[in-house]
Structures are given as C-alpha cells and as structure tokens.
Amino acid sequence: MADLHARLAQATGFEWDPSNATRNRTKHTASQAECEQLFFDAPLVLASDLGQSAREARYFALGQTDAARRLLVVFTLRGSLIRVISARPMSRREREVYADAEAQED
C-alpha cells in the first residue's frame, strides 16, 4: 500500500459523481467534505477492493473526519483526482482495525 499512499500524496483534488454524492449524504449522512477530510487525517488505513470493478482499481480507506467521525470510503484514482464512489460509517470490525492502526501510531 506504500505505492497507493504515494499516489494519494500526488493527488490534486477530488472528482464527484453527483448521484454518488447524493446517495452518500442521504443514505449514510456522509457529506462530500467529510469524505475528503479523512484523506488528510492520520491514520489512513488503505486496502484494495478486489473484484468490484473490471474497469479500474478500487480501494477502501478507513479514516476519521475533522469531527472524529469514522468512515469507510470506497474510491478510485483517475489521473491525479480521487473519485469517491461510496462512503458509510465504519462497521464494528472496521473500527477495531482502525483502532489498531491508531495504537501503532502512538
């Protein structure tokens, strides 16, 4: 995942599909701003989302917003842009994985 962290560091912005943004907000109360914030807070736990799309690589990100809300974001990279596909609050298991990552940072 070091390569993915490096690619994210080179990202110049975000790209949003209006229907995905609306669905994230209405179904999971995850705003565009919150989704974007978690890419700038540590720790950011990343994993590949294997098998979801034959056209482009997708990834999971576990992270925290500025308001300490913990989200899972599914995204892809399109050139230098991060395209958020979906976002939702972390599950209990995902919160455990994220807490382990936080403990390793201390």
Model pLDDT for residues 5-47, shown as the tens digit of each residue: 899 999 999 999 888 888 888 888 899 999 999 999 889 999 9
Predicted pLDDT at 55: 81
How many domains does the chain divide into?
1
Task: State the burial class of residue 11 (Cβ atoms within 10 Å of its Cβ: 0-12, 13-18, 19+).
Answer: middle
Model pLDDT for residues 53-93, shown as the tens digit of each residue: 668 889 999 999 999 999 999 999 999 999 999 999 999 99
Task: State the burial class of residue 83 (Cβ atoms within 10 Å of its Cβ: 0-12, 13-18, 19+).
Answer: middle
Predicted pLDDT at 28: 84
Which residues contact residue 52 at a Cβ distance below 8 angstroms, ignoring those fewer than 6 apart?
A: 58, 74
Q: In whole angstroms, give the CA distance from residue 32 to residue 81.
A: 14
Q: Please check whether residue 59 is in contact with residue 4, taking contact to mean a CB–CB distance below 8 angstroms.
A: yes
- Band the pLDDT of 103: cuts 50, 70, 90: very high
Predicted pLDDT at 39: 94
pTM for the model stands at 0.89
Where does 1-106 show beta strands of DSSP type E?
Answer: 13-15, 45-48, 59-64, 70-78, 81-89
Check the CA dihedral 74-23-80-99 and report its sign: negative
Examine the pLDDT at 106 and tell me if it is beyond 80.
Answer: no
Which residue segment(s) compose the domain that 83 sits in?
Answer: 2-105
